[in-house]
């Protein structure tokens, strides 16, 4: 089994970096040589962001979840399936708060108006909205009504 010394890391990284990160599917210039903290073996070259994500996932799974390292891939597959296939189309009260906050903080006033039109705001309702707070209250009301 070959040993990858510190002075060979850069060369290894350059020779093995992919065109896109195999985890996040992004192009980047920020590559790292990823290794398994349990075994010490190199897994590959991935983006720094993906390396950080994997580290957080593994640490949380092993520490907080008391999971076994060998069962992590199966748990991740289950998470993937759950995220793809679980949707009750029922709006959670905290979810409504999060949607409203994103509407208020991440959209320009023009984007807010366009969104309100898309979800059914009338011209009268829009005319009564003179600022972001008013538009956010209308967004919350219309969104909540849609799901009641």
The pLDDT of residue 83 = 96
The pair of structure tokens assigned to 123 is 């011209």
pLDDT digits (tens, 9 = 90+) for 33-89: 999 998 999 999 999 999 999 999 999 999 999 999 999 999 999 999 999 999 999
pLDDT band of residue 12 (cuts 50, 70, 90) is: very high
The pLDDT of residue 1 = 63
pLDDT digits (tens, 9 = 90+) for 80-123: 999 999 999 999 999 999 999 999 999 999 999 999 999 999 99
Distance CA 112, CA 101 (A): 12
What is the chain written as a DSSP string? Answer: -----GGGHHHHHHHH--SS-TTT----S-EEEEE-TTT--EEEEEEHHHHHHHHHHHHHHHHTS---GGGHHHHHHHHHHHHHH-------HHHHHHHHHHHHHHS-HHHHHHHHHHTT--HHHHHT--SHHHHHHHHHHHHHHHH-
């Amino acid at each position: 089994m070959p040993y990858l010394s510190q002075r060979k890391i850069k060369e290894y990284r350059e020779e093995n970096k992919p065109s896109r990160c195999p985890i996040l599917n992004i192009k980047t210039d920020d590559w790292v040589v990823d290794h398994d903290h349990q075994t010490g073996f190199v897994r590959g070259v991935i983006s720094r962001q993906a390396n950080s994500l994997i580290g957080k996932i593994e640490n949380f799974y092993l520490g907080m979840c008391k999971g076994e390292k060998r069962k992590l891939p199966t748990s991740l597959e289950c998470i993937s399936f759950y995220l793809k296939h679980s949707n009750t189309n029922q709006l959670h009260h905290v979810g409504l708060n999060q949607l409203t906050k994103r509407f208020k903080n991440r959209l320009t006033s023009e984007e807010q108006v366009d969104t309100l039109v898309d979800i059914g705001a009338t011209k009268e309702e829009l005319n009564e909205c003179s600022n972001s707070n008013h538009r956010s209250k209308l967004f919350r009301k219309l969104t909540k009504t849609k799901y009641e």
